Chain A
Amino acid sequence: DQQVKQNSPSLSVQEGRISILNCDYTNSMFDYFLWYKKYPAEGPTFLISISSIKDKNEDGRFTVFLNKSAKHLSLHIVPSQPGDSAVYFCAASVSQGGSEKLVFGKGMKLTVNP
């Protein structure tokens, strides 16, 4: 059972427009949510995070929104740039019995066209 779901495998937007990446989760025990960006042949790099007690976090062009009642979060990139083209992973953090781990979605490929 997938606890973190990214239902859209890809998204294509024009440079300068907004990119909206969505993520749904099922486990109410998740305490932090993170977005990672991944380029080919590289490991994921941290982008932005949000605590489960917040509903919004902003960092420059990146904003993450959390809707706990809907178990839904989204990443907004405004304005989108060609360098943002990558695979984006939604992840959730859970601490259980001394263990801390991230649970990832399948990822979504964002293409920003010049």
Chain B
Amino acid sequence: GAGVSQSPRYKVAKRGQDVALRCDPISGHVSLFWYQQALGQGPEFLTYFQNEAQLDKSGLPSDRFFAERPEGSVSTLKIQRTQQEDSAVYLCASSSIGQGRWYEQYFGPGTRLTVT
């Protein structure tokens, strides 16, 4: 497909479980972003990759959150020991540096995480 894809689309986890959320960016896009969107709020920045380098992880809310992009394409956001406050939609976005409107980010459909 041509767009950003994310899996799973929905995830229910029991409190304390670990989860892994996957993002497939648009082919060739150098930049990849993760955002967290709580109910009734706008997306909030979590972390940013340029190729495989994680250049900014200032938005990760705690050390239970970990993201990786080992080969500069697919990325995984891992949440350890999930808590109820982690319930949100997790959005992945990608963009292409230096081409056209580089600042324009293309979003995937998101993964809705519910922690019970």
Contacts and interface: CB of A to CB of B under 8 A. Distances in A.
A41 B56 contact: no
Chief secondary structure at chain A's binding surface: strand
Contacts of A99: 48, 55-56, 58
Given A34-B104, A98-B56, A104 B109 contact: no
Contacts of A36: 107
A99 B32 CA distance: 11
Given A32-B103, A34-B103, A101-B56, A41 B43 contact: no
Contacts of B56: 97-99, 101
B45 interface: yes
B103 A49 contact: yes
A44 B43 contact: yes
Pick from B41, B93, B103 the residue with the most CB of A within 10 Å: B103
B110 interface: yes
B30 to A, nearest CB: 11
Contacts, number: 66
Given A43-B107, A105-B42, A106-B42, A98 B50 contact: yes
A86 B55 CA distance: 33
A45 interface: yes
Q: Is the interface on chain B under 10, 10 to 19, 20 to 34, or 35 or more residues?
A: 20 to 34
A107 B59 CA distance: 20
Interface in A68-114: 89, 91, 93, 97-107
A103 B45 contact: yes
B113 interface: no
A106 B43 CA distance: 8
Given A89-B43, A100-B103, A44 B91 contact: yes
B33 A43 contact: no
